C-alpha cells in the first residue's frame, strides 16, 4: 500500500472516531457532570443564601453536584460578565437580581460589560424582595397619607435615606414621589445599616428598606412601617398596608432574583433546567424556609410568563431612570 493511500486511510479513520465522539457528547443526557451557579454577591448575602438552598435542591433533582461560585462586585456586573462569557452548555447559571437584568443597563449605558437581552436567556424568576417605607417615630408619620401631607406642606424638606444613589431602594422612593406628585429629598448612605441609623437618630425622616433588613428595627419600635411595596400584604407585617391600597393603585416596587443561562444555550437544555426549577418551586419547601425572613419565593412560570415579568419590570424602572437622568457610569 502506498504511503499517500495509507495516510488517507488513517485520516479517514481519525475523522470517523472524532465524529463518533462528538455525536456521543451531543447525545449525552444533560446533565452528566457537576454544574455551577454564579452568585454575583459575596458569601452570606441573601442572594447567596438563596443560591445555596436552590443548588442543594437542584443537585437532588439532577443527581449531580451543583456548586455555588461567588463573584461579587460592581453592582453584580462582575458575576454577570463571568456567566455571560461562559460556555453555553447549561453547566453555568447566573442567579442575578433586578439590578443585573433591568437596572444596570439603564444606569450604566456606556460602561456595562454585558447586555442582559443579548447575552442571557431567563430561566426563572425565583423570588421577590418586598420593600417597606419606614419612618422615625418622632416625625408624626403613621401612614403614607401623613407623609404625603407633610411633603406637600413643605416641598423638598421631607428627607429619606437609602443604601446609595441608583439603588432600587433610592429608585423606589423616587417612584413613589412621582406617583404622589410630591417632592422628597434623597440622602444616600454607603449602606443600609448607615441609612437605618440615620432614620433612628432623626437625621432623616424616613427610608426605604427591604423588609428582611428592617424587621429588627420595626420589632424594637425604633422605626414605624408605613407601607410595603408588594402586591399583597405580607404575613410578617399583616397590619401594614400595601402602597397600592394606601391610595396608589398599581404601585409596585420590588427587588427580585432570577436564574439565567448564556443566550446560546440550546433550547432543550434551557427547558430541562426550567422544568427542574419549576418542580423545586412547586414543592413549597423553599417558600417555607425563606418566608420568615421576608423573601417571597414565587411559583412556577413558563417561558412566556418569565418574559412578561421582565417586560413589565423594564416598563416600571427604565422610564423612571431616564426621567430622573440618573447614571452610575
Q: How far apart are CA 197 and CA 193, in angstroms?
A: 6
**DSSP letter at 203?**
S
The pLDDT score that the predictor gives to residue 201 is 96
The pLDDT score that the predictor gives to residue 27 is 55
Q: Which residue has the higher pLDDT, 178 or 47?
A: 178
pLDDT in tens, 118-134: 999 999 999 999 999 99
**DSSP letter at 155?**
T
pLDDT in tens, 46-91: 889 999 999 999 999 999 999 999 999 988 999 999 999 999 999 9
pLDDT of residue 23 exceeding 80, the answer is no
The pLDDT score that the predictor gives to residue 249 is 95
pLDDT of residue 12 exceeding 60, the answer is no
pLDDT in tens, 128-159: 999 999 999 999 899 999 999 999 999 999 99
Q: What is the phi/psi pair of residue 285, to 5°? A: -70, -40
Instruction: State the cell numbers at 272.
Output: 430541562
The pLDDT score that the predictor gives to residue 323 is 93
pLDDT of residue 18 exceeding 60, the answer is no
For the chain, give every domain's residue range: 35-128+254-324, 130-246
Q: Which CATH superfamily is domain 35-128+254-324 in?
A: Bordetella uptake gene, domain 1 (3.40.190.150)
Lowest mean pLDDT among 9-23, 53-67, 228-242, 284-298: 9-23
Q: Please, which pLDDT band fits residue 259 given cuts at 50, 70 and 90?
A: very high
pLDDT of residue 300 exceeding 60, the answer is yes
pLDDT of residue 112 exceeding 60, the answer is yes
What DSSP assignment string belongs to 215-279?
Answer: HHHHHTTSSEEEEE-SSS-BTTBTTSPBTGGGT-TT---EEEEEEEEETTS-HHHHHHHHHHHHH
Is the omega angle on the peptide bond into residue 31 within 30 degrees of 0, that is, cis?
yes
**DSSP letter at 208?**
E
Burial class (CB in 10 A: 0-12, 13-18, 19+), 151: buried
The pLDDT score that the predictor gives to residue 9 is 52
Query: Is there a contact between 213 and 205 (Cβ–Cβ < 8 Å)?
Result: no
Longest dimension (CA), the chain: 101
Q: Which secondary structure element, helix H or strand E, spans residue 104, and what is its range?
A: helix 104-107
CB crowding 289-300: b at 16 or more within 10 Å, else e: ebeeebbbbbee
Instruction: State which CATH number among 2.60.40.650, 3.40.190.10, 3.40.50.2300, 3.40.630.30 fits the domain covering 130-246.
Output: 3.40.190.10
Lowest mean pLDDT among 6-20, 48-62, 166-180, 288-302: 6-20
pLDDT of residue 24 exceeding 50, the answer is no
pLDDT in tens, 201-253: 999 999 999 998 899 999 999 999 999 999 999 999 999 999 999 999 999 99
pLDDT of residue 8 exceeding 90, the answer is no
Question: Do 35-128+254-324 and 130-246 come out as alike in CATH topology?
Answer: yes
Instruction: State the cell numbers at 169.
Output: 431602594
Dihedral sign (CA 209, 210, 216, 221): positive
The pLDDT score that the predictor gives to residue 45 is 84
Amino acid at each position: 500500500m502506498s504511503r499517500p493511500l495509507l495516510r488517507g486511510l488513517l485520516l479517514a479513520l481519525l475523522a470517523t472516531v472524532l465524529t463518533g465522539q462528538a455525536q456521543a457528547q451531543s447525545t449525552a443526557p444533560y446533565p452528566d457532570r457537576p454544574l455551577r451557579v454564579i452568585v454575583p454577591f459575596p458569601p452570606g448575602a441573601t442572594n447567596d443564601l438563596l443560591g445555596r438552598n436552590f443548588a442543594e435542591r437542584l443537585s437532588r433533582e439532577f443527581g449531580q453536584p451543583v456548586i455555588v461560585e461567588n463573584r461579587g462586585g460592581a453592582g453584580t456586573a462582575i458575576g454577570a460578565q463571568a456567566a455571560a462569557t461562559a460556555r453555553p452548555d447549561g453547566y453555568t447559571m447566573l442567579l442575578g437580581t433586578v439590578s443585573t437584568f433591568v437596572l444596570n443597563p439603564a444606569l450604566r449605558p456606556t460602561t456595562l460589560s454585558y447586555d442582559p437581552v443579548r447575552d442571557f436567556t431567563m430561566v426563572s424568576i425565583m423570588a421577590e424582595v418586598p420593600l417597606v417605607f419606614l419612618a422615625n417615630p418622632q416625625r408624626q408619620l403613621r401612614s403614607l397619607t401623613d407623609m404625603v401631607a407633610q411633603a406637600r406642606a413643605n416641598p423638598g424638606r421631607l428627607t429619606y435615606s437609602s443604601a446609595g444613589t441608583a439603588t432600587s431602594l433610592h429608585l423606589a422612593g423616587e417612584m413613589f414621589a412621582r406617583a404622589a406628585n410630591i417632592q422628597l429629598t434623597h440622602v444616600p448612605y454607603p449602606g443600609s445599616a448607615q441609612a437605618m441609623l440615620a432614620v433612628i437618630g432623626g437625621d432623616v425622616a424616613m427610608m426605604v428598606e427591604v423588609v428582611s433588613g428592617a424587621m429588627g428595627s420595626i420589632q424594637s419600635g425604633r422605626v414605624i412601617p408605613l407601607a410595603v411595596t408588594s402586591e399583597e400584604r405580607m404575613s410578617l407585617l399583616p397590619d401594614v398596608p400595601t402602597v397600592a391600597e394606601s391610595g396608589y393603585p398599581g404601585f409596585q416596587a420590588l427587588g427580585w432574583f432570577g436564574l439565567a443561562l448564556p443566550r446560546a444555550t440550546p433550547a432543550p437544555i434551557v427547558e430541562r433546567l426550567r422544568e427542574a426549577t419549576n418542580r423545586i418551586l412547586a414543592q413549597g419547601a423553599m417558600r417555607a424556609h425563606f418566608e420568615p425572613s421576608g423573601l417571597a419565593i414565587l411559583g412556577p412560570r413558563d417561558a412566556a410568563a418569565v418574559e412578561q415579568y421582565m417586560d413589565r419590570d423594564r416598563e416600571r424602572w427604565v422610564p423612571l431612570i431616564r426621567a430622573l437622568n440618573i447614571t452610575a457610569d
